[in-house]
């Protein structure tokens, strides 16, 4: 049953297998290598210390002759090994007819990692217990490991992975040897270890258990966060086109305190408040909510996979006036009443009409949180003040009066 099932999976395994994008230089820099072989996923993982360097597809023992589980180490290596078929009394020399391929990496007297002359079998459970690899893969691995390299052979049907792009995936793999079932609690535990508890819905997880996709399924993406030019160690999470930002690390940079109203699911920072949500034991807010808690500018970079959050100061003749800067239609905007007062212009706010005039001229405003703001592109037209956006310093610098 398991063999037939794996044959069906093997036809598409090479397309579906998710592995890190590894450059040759990374392989050359491997130190303290160690190997983990996971039988349900039919994968061999090469680590440099604790860092996953590369994942290879493999073939493993069939259910009647399973690959042994346990902790081993490499005890012998051989180039161009000969093969002695069990109970046959003859030897097959190295060459295209040798099922061991051209490399042997032994971890037990009768078991090893080796190449194959049947690459079509990679991804299946068909061997007598040894671990088969594609020839180019085993030759690469052979050069990276030595005698004594640790080899752990495990049986984990659930794998949570984060690749170098930040994609978070969940894999549910078949119970090849009939050893264990998959439970929701096991998946929750693995998600919690990666800090992603609460991000995958129960319906999604149950569907993965039911369909047993036999591949990694991406369900979220991590992204970097930079606050006032400081890179955070913590990551944001994007799922279903919604971005979640952990509020406490942002507050630490801003040197502000967070009050969590659990009953109403509200985050409060000083006089500002916005909706929040708890995932696992972390409080998150969306970028929209973050804008209500902290004034400033948010910039997203696809290339860097990063959300940058910067406090922006409004300066008039070199003096800081306010950091209450918003974004309207991707253009920075400042509080217009405060600006008019600082510049000494006669102004009037009509609360009933939501109308603001300067020297009798109607000002194009945008209402945010019941306060009127003016885009910086309109400041010169109304106030005749020269505006300079200093992107490097994150400042809006006004010169007034301006003599052009």
Catalytic residues: 114, 130
Nearest CA-CA partner of 206 in 184, 232, 228, 173: 184
Q: How far apart, in whole angstroms, are the C-alpha atoms of residue 372 and residue 4?
A: 69
Rounded distance between C-alpha atoms, residue 153 and residue 146, angstroms: 17
The region that residue 79 occupies, defined by phi over 0 for left and psi between -120 and 50 for alpha, beta otherwise, is: beta
Report the candidate in 279, 159, 148 with the shortest Cα–Cα distance to residue 208: 159
Residue pair 382/365 in contact (Cβ under 8 Å)? The answer is no
The angle at the Cα of 337, spanning 333 to 340, to the nearest 5 degrees, equals 95
Distance (Å, rounded) from C-alpha 203 to C-alpha 242? 18
Q: Which residues contact 194 (CB under 8 A, 6 or more apart)?
A: 160, 162, 168
């Amino acid at each position: 049953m398991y063999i037939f099932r794996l044959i069906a999976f093997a036809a598409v395994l090479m397309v579906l297998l998710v592995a890190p994008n590894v450059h040759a230089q990374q392989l050359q820099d491997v130190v303290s290598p160690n190997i983990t072989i996971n039988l349900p996923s039919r994968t061999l993982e090469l680590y440099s210390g604790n860092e996953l360097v590369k994942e290879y597809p493999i073939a493993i023992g069939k259910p009647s002759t399973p690959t042994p589980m346990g902790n081993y180490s490499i005890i012998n290596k051989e180039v161009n090994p000969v093969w002695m078929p069990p109970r046959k009394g003859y030897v097959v020399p190295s060459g295209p007819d040798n099922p061991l391929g051209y490399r042997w990496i032994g971890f037990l007297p009768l078991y090893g990692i080796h190449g194959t002359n049947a690459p079509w079998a990679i991804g299946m459970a068909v061997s007598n217990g040894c671990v088969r690899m594609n020839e180019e893969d085993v030759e690469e691995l052979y050069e990276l490991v030595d005698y004594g390299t640790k080899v752990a052979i495990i049986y984990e049907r659930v794998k949570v992975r984060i690749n170098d792009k930040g994609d978070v995936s969940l894999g549910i793999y078949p119970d090849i040897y009939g050893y264990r079932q998959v439970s929701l609690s096991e998946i929750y535990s693995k998600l919690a270890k990666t800090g992603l508890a609460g991000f995958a819905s129960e319906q999604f997880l149950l569907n993965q258990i039911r369909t047993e996709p036999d591949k990694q399924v991406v369900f979220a993406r991590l992204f970097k966060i930079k606050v006032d030019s400081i890179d955070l160690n913590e990551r944001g999470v994007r799922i279903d086109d919604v971005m979640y930002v952990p509020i406490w690390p942002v507050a630490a940079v801003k040197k502000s305190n967070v009050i969590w109203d659990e009953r109403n699911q509200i985050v409060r920072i000083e006089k500002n408040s916005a909706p929040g949500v708890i995932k696992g034991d972390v409080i998150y807010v969306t970028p929209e909510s973050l804008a209500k808690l902290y004034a400033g500018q948010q910039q997203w970079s696809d290339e860097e996979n990063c959300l940058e959050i910067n406090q922006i100061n409004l300066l008039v003749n070199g003096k800081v006036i306010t950091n209450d800067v918003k974004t309207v239609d991707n253009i920075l905007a400042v509080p217009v009443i405060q600006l008019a007062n600082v510049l000494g212009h006669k102004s009037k706010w009509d609360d009933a009409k939501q109308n603001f005039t300067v020297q009798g001229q109607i000002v194009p405003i945008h209402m945010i949180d019941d306060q009127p703001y003016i885009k910086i592109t309109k400041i010169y037209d109304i106030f005749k003040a020269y505006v300079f956006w200093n992107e490097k310093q994150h400042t809006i610098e006004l010169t007034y009066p301006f003599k052009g």
